[in-house]
Structure 1
Amino acid sequence: MKRAVVITVFFIFMFALNSFAQELPVVTAIEIKGLKRIEEAAVKNKISLKLGEVISQEKISEDIKSIYKMGYFEDVKVDIEPFEGGVKVIYTVKEKPTIVKVSFEGNKEYDEDRLKEVVAITAGAIADVTLINDNALKLKAFYESEGYYFAKIVPVIKKKTEQEVELTYVIDEGNKVKIKEIKFEGNKAISSRKIKKVMATSERKFYSFITGSGFYKKYEMMQDLEKIKDLYYDNGYLKVSVGEPKLEFSQDKKWMTITIPISEGPQFKISSVKLAGYKDNKEEQELKKLIKLKPGEIFSKAKMRKDVEAITSFYSDRGYALASVSPDVLPNEEKLTVDVTYNVKPGDKFTIGRVNISGNVKTVDKVIRREIRVDEGDEYSASKIQKSKKRLEDLQYFETVDINQKPDPDKKTVDLDVNVKEKPTGFLTIGGGYSSIDNLIGMVDVTQNNLFGRGYSLTLRGELGGRSSYYTIAFRDPWFMDKPLLFGFNVYRQKREYVNYTRDATGLSFTFGKRYGEDWSASVTYDIEKSRVTDVATDADTVIKDMEGNLLTSAVTFQIINDTRDSYIDPSTGRRYSLSVTTAGLGGDTGFWKSLLDLGWYLPIFEESTLHLRGRIGMSDTLFGKKYPLYERFYVGGLDTIRGVGYGEAGPKDSKNEPIGAKRALIFNIEYLFPIVSEMKLKGLIFVDIGKGYNEGEKFGSDIKYTSGFGFRWFSPLGPVKIDYGINLNRKEGESKSKIEFGFGSFF
């Protein structure tokens, strides 16, 4: 736009009027003309010239520049005329037109609604050239991030009236460019395969339509270059240099090859690791136990970072809220060694000040406060604050949990601002599915996990399958009487058609439990159930015929759990041990004891992958000479035990080769879980299952069943979903070759 600035100055005339006084005229009035939408006060705030001042050509010039910088005007003029013994300075402006419509032309892959999310310009905005061009660059960056590297964006302004224009971004999307190959120049010490593993940018693969990978994104590549440097730093190459990537395109511009130049430099070893700033010898010895970097080893930036975190945690868990550790790395280029010194600055000890709760609309304060591991006046502890955040997240009541720490150096206190964003905790699920046990099933589930905002859980559930039906009402209070006590009850009705009989049961159970410390809990459950067994086949085995008729079971179960997992929903580290013992026979028609030892470990592998190891041993037998029903026994085989074989197939069978349950069970599971699409919380896994169920006369640990396969875990908004495909590796006659299993609910 052409800028026109006109200053009509009457200095000669004014000099004539004031020839005797030999003075410049005084400003007696300031006026703004031409404003239509912009407030006059906003413009006057930019004017430095004041009433009563002697007129100044320098100030007027600066004022014109200041008004232009506001971005609202395409023209500014200044006139000066005599007024009441002085002069009036008149600023005449011409406002830029308003954009009344923003549209897009030529877009095929993305609709207008999607593109409007990218740009920061809307109808009603000022038609500022800089703003318009900046948004064209945003659109260009968006298309590049989606693989359209040669996309062209041209803004076109169409004048409607003197004060109104329409803005159209004309788009030529071009071809979507995929990454054919990523190459490296100069890498000798570290293979290209290892370098690619640390990068987010990857070559286009046959499965990339799921992950969305295989496209060049500039901001992602810049992060990858830093990851490559860190990889070299972790292997002792302190002088590594990673250059800008070179892009080469195919003739049809549909594929690109990326070449990244690397200058590795020499490898450095650690000559010494020292500490500075500690208080006494005892503290020094404790800190040395935390340090993983050792003299003689190859230098590793990752190990050094973990050392810094460990030392910082050591102090922050002892009240030193502002503790800091700064490492000095001094390389010797002649000897190719490096001296590392950890400089410790503990600072002063702090205590917990006020704990403020905000963001909770439905959830009452005490439900949040009782999960916080520190109280006002306690010694500051970073790990306890982190534990508090984890416990609140594990409640599954909140979308986000933020604990902001506000240290007060004068009072030596740290205030905690606990801010939560609530999410719906009630679910109505109506649907159907397929179960490997019951074939087609229909299900209705109404669950409220935060009833009345007090942390109660209430579930109403009904399932109807081809061979079974199940109805239940379950209630749970994890803080019974505002103490760390668990109380719950469950009323249920179940009917299932087995091959040789039908079971119809009604039951009621009560559970009381208590937590001990952070990781231990114990509970006792009393369960009374009335079952009716009918439709027993005339040629059924004796063990099945013995159950026919009404059976009353009165059972007590004791359970103890040790759980250190970092998350109940998606654990990556920690363990879960449980031991349960059930005794039935004090009253009723059945008598048996049953125990199950369940041990599980989660081990982080690489950055986001996890190795899950689990082992279970189950033992049981009859008591008091009473009946031990088949439906109370261990059924080894199926989704939660040995995948790849049918329900109970890896255990004892009757004369018709149908599962009848086991008195003893041995089960081992090995899983390797890895992310597929992190944004969707979709994971893949490969597994190996080993196990068997045994009855009398069978040697415990013999004839083990082996299966292997793969699966998926999706942490959906309605709960975790699991799909597994298992292959029977040592199949016998009458057993399944393989099985696809589907489940909805918590993972083991």
Structure 2
Amino acid sequence: MNMNKLNRVVIVAILLLTTLVISKSSSLQRIFDFFALPVFAQELPIVTAIEVKGVKRIEEGSIKAKISQKIKDPLSQEKTTEDIKAIYKMGYFDDVKVEIEPFEGGIKVIYLVKEKPTIVKVDFQGNKKYKDDDLKDKISLTAGAISDVTLINDNAVKLKKFYEDEGYYLANIVPVVRKIEEGEVSVTYQIDEGKKVKIKEIKIEGNKALSASKIKKAMKTSERGLFSFILGGGYYKKDEMKADIERIKDLYYNNGYIKVTVGEPRIQLTEDKEGMQIIIQISEGEQFKVSSVEIAGNKAFSEDELRKLIKLAPKTIFNKEILRKDVTAITDQYSNNGYALVVVSPDLIPNEETKETRVVYRIDEGDKYKIGRIEISGNTKTRDKVIRREIRLDEGDVFNASALKRSYERINNLQFFESVELSPKPKPEEKLVDLDVKVKEKATGFLSVGGGYSSIDRFVAMVDITQGNLFGSGQYIKLRGELGGRSSFYELSFRDPWFMDKPISFGTSIYKTTRKYGNFERKATGLEVSFGKSFWEYWGASIAYNYEKATIFNVKDTASQTIKDQEGTATTSSVTLSVGRDTRDNYLDPLKGSKNVLSTTFAGLGGTNAFYKALFDSGWYYPLFDVTTVHLRGRVGYASGIFGKKLPLYERYYVGGIYTVRGLGYGEAGPKDINGEAIGGEKQLVFNAEYIFPIVAEYKFKGLVFFDAGRAYATGETIGSDLRYTSGAGIRWISPIGPIRIEWGYNLDKRPGESSSKVEFTFGSFF
């Protein structure tokens, strides 16, 4: 074939290519069929240029990175088809096409794309129970995102799940996409919230060994009842129900039923659609006992050492909870001695014939690790040393998991940070564990100016300037003034927990106070200086010196002789010694732990007053249902004048009020003079029991119910006799400016002249 004829054929082929548009469903194959004729088998056109058209917001380079067709290569149907698929999979385009046109002795391949529109607005319609801002926090779709159907629908599912978790099981969420202008759309989630569906009944089927009531008790999901507003529950939540299935299994495992199966819950709505019945099917299987308990893989510790930690015993019914505690105890033994990556795997080998199971604790010890670098980040204000001195591990120390946990508690208890994260990062090649300590600062200083009504002082005006982390040094300074209808109080205090960078605390304060009582008034000015020292991790001791000048004046003629005898000015020079142990996980809002303090005060080294006081204060916190707490507290005190002098009125024990026995007036649970005026006692005994539960956990807003008992006693009375009893309820809020308490107490043993109940509030530390 001569060259003229060949050129004509090539020109015809190029014209054909020019008139065809290649898309995901194009006729590209027909072009290649044409070029597949034998005479032209090796004459496919060469690509001399590649162009992308249609991009507006997407970078052209990101598209070209997906293109496999290259310049100077022959045109390939396979490559262009794969290119279309690859570009389409990027998720930014509604359509992808390919066009071909002649270009500089070859052909240009043009990738035509049509971008998906941009979402310029996301809003909600139909929502009544929750504000738009609340719902926006539950989804990831925001203005500026690409209008992707999958993403939009996924967020509708998230909203549906949120409503279900809040008890709106029948909520319906429909996303509506509206075109605003070319390339821009809005997304509106149409919400039909429906009513909360209460759980009318939880029905357990197939159970024989364990009662339905016992199974329900193990679940967090519950039927709606009288106390559901306190304990929660009564509404269906998918995630909680999944967890409940595991709790039911664990209950059976703890009773030896290692073959138990629990089916998926079936849900049936009542006819009125306002209630539901949940049916849970159980297949119990047979009960198994433990035939033997074995240990394998241990090298660092002998079998005898480890067996002392194991509580699961042969010939007893298998119990998963005991097994779990055994695993934790063995793991702690290793992780507290440097074995940071230890793994303890319990292996059950059941025998179907004997209905017994072997238990083998298989230990993969790993290597012994030391602490590498300790990196602190996020502290934009607080100095590194303030955080570092709370960490119970030093670089080079043997890794210790318990010390790591305690470090977290101590940093968190500084109350300087919104969040604290301690992340151990093992470096196996060096046998080191680096610690990343990441904190997020929070405001530690505030100015509060306000007023209110106090149950004790009537109308109160207050100014409080506090900085809890002065210059990021961990020091505390406070200036406070209160002026009430019956009292006033002014104080300037300072505390340094690491005085002169030593593990010794130093504190000082000056104060002035006045108060009106029924038959007299008192004013006082004082100065206090204290030093403290922590030891044995949870123990501490302190010594404080206090000098106070106090005056009792405006004594009424009707006052008792006890009050008249103490009229005038007296000075107190006292030393107080305290020793205590504090294991609370959080000082401000504890869930577990205890605080026990024994303090003694001796006055008489100078001054005109001479007395002795001793007080033992013990408080214990027990977690219940994971998020609620039982708080038990007891106090016993004794005081007496010495060196022939009387105990001052203002140093006696006054029982009654928000800090002792709630529901009684100040000093009502104690000795009174002939006029019925509370004059305090030389001894006291006070008990408090509280059940504390979250109301709005996110904002640290809690409720409580309580029972109090206590009394103060005169010298000749027997401590523990004639106790006064009250009960009641209250709310507590850890607000941005400090804890707030509002509590109502009911007098269970009302006596003449007393109120049947009292509402009291206070701003300050919880007790």
- Per-residue deviation at 1:381? 1.1
**Secondary structure of the residue that 1:448 maps to in structure 2?**
strand
**Secondary structure of the residue that 1:321 maps to in structure 2?**
coil
Write out aligned runs for 1:25-424 (5 A): 25-205=45-225, 213-279=233-299, 283-424=302-443
Shift >6 Å, 4+ stretches: 209-212
**One-letter identity of the residue aligned with 1:366:** K
**Secondary structure of the residue that 2:488 maps to in structure 1?**
strand
**Secondary structure of the residue that 1:19 maps to in structure 2?**
helix
Q: Give the TM-score taking structure 2 as reference length.
A: 0.90
Moved more, 226-235 or 486-495: 226-235
**Secondary structure of the residue that 1:372 maps to in structure 2?**
coil
CA distance in 1, matches of 2:758, 2:555: 28
User: Which blocks of at least 5 consecutive residues in structure 2 are unaligned?
Assistant: 1-22
Write out aligned runs for 1:618-697 (5 A): 618-675=637-694, 677-697=696-716
**Secondary structure of the residue that 1:540 maps to in structure 2?**
coil
Provide closer, same or farther for how the CA distance between residues 54 and 354 of structure 1 changes in structure 2, counting only shifts above 3 A. same
Provide closer, same or farther for how the CA distance between residues 436 and 291 of structure 1 changes in structure 2, counting only shifts above 3 A. farther
CA contact (8 A) 1:6 1:78 kept: no
CA distance in 2, matches of 1:153, 1:728: 51
**Secondary structure of the residue that 1:49 maps to in structure 2?**
coil
**Secondary structure of the residue that 2:302 maps to in structure 1?**
helix
**One-letter identity of the residue aligned with 1:406:** K
CA distance in 2, matches of 1:238, 1:637: 54
% identical equivalent positions:
60
**One-letter identity of the residue aligned with 1:305:** R
CA distance in 1, matches of 2:97, 2:677: 97
CA contact (8 A) 2:503 2:534 kept: yes
Q: Give the TM-score taking structure 1 as reference length.
A: 0.92
Whether 1:446 and 2:437 are equivalent positions in the alignment is no
**One-letter identity of the residue aligned with 2:209:** A
Quote the residue 2:535 is aligned against. 516
CA contact (8 A) 1:500 1:537 kept: yes
CA distance in 2, matches of 1:451, 1:72: 52
- Per-residue deviation at 1:160? 4.8
Whether 1:722 and 2:722 are equivalent positions in the alignment is no
Q: Deviations over 1:109-166 (max 9, x none)?
A: 4454444444433444333333333333334334444444344444444445554444
Quote the residue 1:577 is aligned against. 596
- Per-residue deviation at 1:177? 3.1
CA contact (8 A) 1:201 1:224 kept: yes
CA distance in 2, matches of 1:186, 1:20: 77
CA contact (8 A) 1:6 1:79 kept: no
CA contact (8 A) 2:225 2:234 kept: yes
**Secondary structure of the residue that 1:601 maps to in structure 2?**
strand
Which of 737, 742, 746 does residue 761 from structure 2 map onto?
742
- Per-residue deviation at 1:658? 1.5
User: Which blocks of at least 5 consecutive residues in structure 1 are unaligned?
Assistant: none
**Secondary structure of the residue that 1:481 maps to in structure 2?**
helix
Moved more, 60-69 or 496-505: 60-69
**One-letter identity of the residue aligned with 2:501:** D
Provide closer, same or farther for how the CA distance between residues 21 and 435 of structure 1 changes in structure 2, counting only shifts above 3 A. closer
Whether 1:533 and 2:552 are equivalent positions in the alignment is yes
Quote the residue 2:6 is aligned against. none
CA distance in 1, matches of 2:210, 2:462: 54
CA contact (8 A) 2:230 2:693 kept: no
- Per-residue deviation at 1:100? 4.1
CA contact (8 A) 2:610 2:643 kept: yes
Whether 1:7 and 2:28 are equivalent positions in the alignment is yes
CA distance in 2, matches of 1:709, 1:109: 31
- Per-residue deviation at 1:391? 0.5
Quote the residue 1:614 is aligned against. 633
CA distance in 2, matches of 1:556, 1:742: 31
Provide closer, same or farther for how the CA distance between residues 428 and 196 of structure 1 changes in structure 2, counting only shifts above 3 A. farther
Provide closer, same or farther for how the CA distance between residues 390 and 467 of structure 1 changes in structure 2, counting only shifts above 3 A. same
Provide closer, same or farther for how the CA distance between residues 144 and 21 of structure 1 changes in structure 2, counting only shifts above 3 A. closer
Which of 499, 512, 526 does residue 507 from structure 1 map onto?
526
- Per-residue deviation at 1:383? 0.8
- Per-residue deviation at 1:223? 2.6
CA contact (8 A) 1:436 1:647 kept: no
CA contact (8 A) 1:589 1:627 kept: no
CA distance in 2, matches of 1:700, 1:122: 67
Moved more, 732-741 or 40-49: 732-741
**One-letter identity of the residue aligned with 1:127:** S
- Per-residue deviation at 1:221? 2.4
Aligned Cα root-mean-square deviation (Å): 2.9
CA distance in 1, matches of 2:308, 2:440: 40
CA contact (8 A) 1:4 1:77 kept: no
CA distance in 2, matches of 1:458, 1:201: 47
CA contact (8 A) 1:551 1:589 kept: yes
CA contact (8 A) 1:14 1:25 kept: no
Moved more, 161-170 or 231-240: 161-170
**One-letter identity of the residue aligned with 2:424:** Q
- Per-residue deviation at 1:676? 5.1
Provide closer, same or farther for how the CA distance between residues 721 and 96 of structure 1 changes in structure 2, counting only shifts above 3 A. closer
- Per-residue deviation at 1:589? 1.8
Q: Deviations over 1:390-441 (max 9, x none)?
A: 0011110111111111111222211111111111111233344444433343
Provide closer, same or farther for how the CA distance between residues 717 and 301 of structure 1 changes in structure 2, counting only shifts above 3 A. farther
**One-letter identity of the residue aligned with 1:515:** S
Provide closer, same or farther for how the CA distance between residues 656 and 156 of structure 1 changes in structure 2, counting only shifts above 3 A. closer
Quote the residue 2:576 is aligned against. 557
Quote the residue 2:10 is aligned against. none
- Per-residue deviation at 1:461? 1.3
CA distance in 1, matches of 2:177, 2:349: 59
- Per-residue deviation at 1:708? 4.0
- Per-residue deviation at 1:489? 1.0
CA contact (8 A) 2:231 2:693 kept: no
CA distance in 2, matches of 1:276, 1:12: 70
Provide closer, same or farther for how the CA distance between residues 244 and 558 of structure 1 changes in structure 2, counting only shifts above 3 A. same
